[in-house]
Amino acid sequence: MGKNFIVADVGGTHIRTACFSIDSQTPRCVKKISTKGVDAPHERLINLIASIIPVDEEIAAITVAAPGPTDPYEGIIFEAPNIPGWNNLPLKKIIQDRFNVPVAIGNDANLAALGEWRYGAGIGHRHLVYITVSTGIGGGVIIDNQLLLGVRGLAAEFGHITVIPDGPLCGCGQRGHLEAVTSGPAIARWVEQEINQGIPSSLSGCNSLTAKDVSLAAGKGDKLAQAALERSASYLGIAIADYLHIFNPSMVIIGGGVSQSGELFFAPLRTAMREHVLSSKYVEDLILTKASLGDEVGLMGALALAQNLVFPESCQ
């Protein structure tokens, strides 16, 4: 009879779950369903978990990576954008009551940091900063091999630091946050604004631009698209210089779709970061790299949380 971890990654469009033997990083089974349906999202999650548990085998822990602000201590989802009903949802208790095994819940970007530290680009780094740049911007920090949580579990909201006072409106309602300047939608929006101002671009006339369109055009030499990536990367570089001053990591990992733009994004990022650090000591041996877990980062982050929960000594 084997022992297993059941892990889940909940997003606005899909819920994924996987079963791992406790000594393996390769899933025995993965299942995916739509988040929305006739029943409530947490009921869909519970049913999916129930369906993936192997018959007559022991479950060591169930863990869930959830979007949005989350209390990892009490296992409460404060709010989850795009998931109806997930406001102050006591998800840990709901799962524990149903399955009667140890359960832990975490914010998905925080857990992505944990996943990259344990299984991905950050293996062997005791101090690292992880930032994901896609539709939104989130992140996580590993300090001395521990995930930084903060008193309410709300630490490392990297997208919501102010980089342009009175700048563009952020999805959170504040102005000038990094997410409002550097995220995928922010990049596309800036290009559209510049085109409307009469700046020439191969993208003019395109409807519903995405950051991917901008990245592809930049790769083909479009000057406006290149300027958009440079602008986005420069603000991220400034923000990372701030994070270096606070956390002094040996590695910074960039995940999310925008990081796929390659050197067109990373070169201006590095330049801005170096220009804004207090001392070259922060960047001399710093490794700035892309995330390595790709689409699996949510499940692998939840797996790392399960390992931490059941084998806490493995974090040392």
Which stretches of the chain bind Zn ion, using CB under 5 A?
160, 170, 172, 174, 177
Of 113 and 170, the one with the shorter C-beta distance to Zn ion is 170
Of 102 and 167, the one with the shorter C-beta distance to Zn ion is 167
Indicate the Cα dihedral angle 246, 131, 16, 80, nearest 10°: 70
Tell the smallest beta-carbon distance from residue 81 to Zn ion (Å): 12
Tell the smallest beta-carbon distance from residue 172 to Zn ion (Å): 3
Q: Which residues in 54-79 are b (16+ Cβ under 10 Å) and which e? A: eeeeebbbbbbbbbbbbbbeebbbbe
Tell the smallest beta-carbon distance from residue 239 to Zn ion (Å): 12
Alpha-carbon gap, residue 182 to 204, rounded angstroms:
21
Of 40 and 172, the one with the shorter C-beta distance to Zn ion is 172
Residue nearest Zn ion (C-beta atom): 170
Of 15 and 163, the one with the shorter C-beta distance to Zn ion is 163
Of 69 and 257, the one with the shorter C-beta distance to Zn ion is 69
Tell the smallest beta-carbon distance from residue 301 to Zn ion (Å): 22
Tell the smallest beta-carbon distance from residue 70 to Zn ion (Å): 17
Of 167 and 219, the one with the shorter C-beta distance to Zn ion is 167
Of 118 and 177, the one with the shorter C-beta distance to Zn ion is 177
Of 16 and 177, the one with the shorter C-beta distance to Zn ion is 177
Write down how long the chain is.
Answer: 316
Of 175 and 276, the one with the shorter C-beta distance to Zn ion is 175
Tell the smallest beta-carbon distance from residue 179 to Zn ion (Å): 5
Tell the smallest beta-carbon distance from residue 297 to Zn ion (Å): 22
Q: What is the largest CA-CA distance in the chain?
A: 68
Alpha-carbon gap, residue 124 to 118, rounded angstroms:
8
Concatenating the DSSP letter of every residue in the chain gives --EEEEEEEE-SSEEEEEEEETT-SS-SEEEEEES-SSS-HHHHHHHHHHHHSPTT-EEEEEEEEESS-EETTTTEEEE-TT-TT-EEE-HHHHHHHHH-S-EEEEEHHHHHHHHHHHHSTTTT-SSEEEEEESSSEEEEEEETTEE---TTS----GGGSBSSTT-SBPTTS-BSBHHHHHSHHHHHHHHHHHHHTT---TTTT-SS--HHHHHHHHHTT-HHHHHHHHHHHHHHHHHHHHHHHHH--SEEEEESGGGGGTHHHHHHHHHHHHHH-S-GGGTSS-EEEE-SSGGGHHHHHHHHHHHHHH-GGGG-
Tell the smallest beta-carbon distance from residue 175 to Zn ion (Å): 8
